[in-house]
Homo-oligomer: A and B are copies of this chain.
């Protein structure tokens, strides 16, 4: 089952989207918003599934053409976004860029921060930033959405609370980060709003590619129209999503609709490219002596997408252009 949100108010209007992303049908009579659906998932899931089956069979009343250019973020806002950093090749490279070492505890203690959840950019929204001097960067990631998770949940139980999967662009302002992190309390300025994919999917949509609570497919990033990276999300992921959810819930419950992110996808195999400019710059310094790529300029574009084995887009694409905020 694939779900999306039409633009409507602060929370959007829930729709079901066909597997091929070509057709859609409203579901707001079942649950008005995706947030509402997740708060009552046990009751609404089967109803949504039944309508999804109708849509796939071409029998859904009131179905219409799905246009990923027009939808809101699949969750226009939610109540929590905890972003992990499960790909240690990324952590190592970005810390190297800041002159920092990888603390050994990160091998078995997930790195995670509390990110902005009061609004997400839609998949076609510009990335609005006041200055190019902030060091504008994208980060291509996968995320999962849970229903209500009790405090202290085990890793095994945590996996059962994963209801949806999506992809996202975790925008980073690299040049604001070092002085902010030096203060010791995490990100406020360095991580503005993220953009979410047009569509979120139930895990069963991935078939064999959802295994061990990891997504075993490449996430493909294009920067300024050219392929920039296609690391495999199932490779070098130190902590599964089940582990990340359990980590997040150690001392507090997680409200339904909480988004838990994977962190920037990165593989040790450098030939697969990167999922953010910071890594590319670090690799250039290591391999060529100096950083050449720099960061995003006003007008630059980024496109993030995941394809299935047949080359079809799973979540729709995130396509954003950097725009000066005045």
- Where the two chains meet, the residues of A that have a C-beta atom closer than 8 Å to any C-beta of B are 10, 39, 77, 79-80, 82, 85, 100, 103, 105-106, 109, 111-119, 128-130, 134, 151-152, 173, 176, 179, 181-190, 192-193, 247-248, 250-255, 258, 325
- Residue among B250, B253, B325 making CB contact with A119, cutoff 8 Å: B253
- Residue among B112, B247, B250 making CB contact with A185, cutoff 8 Å: B112
Are A114 and B116 in contact (CB-based, < 8 A)? yes
A10 contacts which chain B residues (CB < 8 A)?
39, 255
Are A189 and B79 in contact (CB-based, < 8 A)? no
A183 contacts which chain B residues (CB < 8 A)?
103, 105-106, 109, 111
Given A119-B255, A184-B181, verify A77-B79 contact (CB < 8 Å). yes
Are A251 and B192 in contact (CB-based, < 8 A)? yes
Are A79 and B82 in contact (CB-based, < 8 A)? no
- Residue among B111, B113, B116, B188 making CB contact with A112, cutoff 8 Å: B188
Please name 4 further chain A to chain B contacts, defined as beta carbons within 8 Å, in addition to the given A105-B183, A181-B184, A184-B186, sorted by A numbering: A105-B179, A111-B185, A188-B250, A193-B253
A85 contacts which chain B residues (CB < 8 A)?
185
Q: List 30 A-B contacts (CB under 8 A).
A: A10-B255, A77-B79, A80-B118, A82-B188, A85-B185, A103-B183, A109-B183, A111-B183, A111-B184, A112-B185, A112-B188, A113-B114, A113-B188, A114-B114, A114-B115, A114-B187, A116-B252, A117-B117, A118-B254, A119-B253, A130-B151, A130-B152, A134-B251, A185-B187, A186-B186, A188-B247, A188-B250, A189-B251, A192-B252, A193-B252
A192 contacts which chain B residues (CB < 8 A)?
151, 251-252
Residue of B nearest to A252 (CB): B192
Residue of B nearest to A114 (CB): B114
Are B184 and A251 in contact (CB-based, < 8 A)? no
- Residue among B80, B119, B181, B189 making CB contact with A117, cutoff 8 Å: B80
A254 contacts which chain B residues (CB < 8 A)?
118
CA distance A258 to B85 in the complex (A): 26
CA distance A192 to B80 in the complex (A): 13
A176 contacts which chain B residues (CB < 8 A)?
251
CA distance A111 to B176 in the complex (A): 14
How many Å from the CB of A46 to the closest CB on chain B?
22
CA distance A253 to B151 in the complex (A): 30
A77 contacts which chain B residues (CB < 8 A)?
79, 255
Are A114 and B188 in contact (CB-based, < 8 A)? yes
Residue of B nearest to A150 (CB): B325
Given A79-B117, A103-B182, A188-B247, verify A152-B325 contact (CB < 8 Å). yes
A105 contacts which chain B residues (CB < 8 A)?
179, 182-183
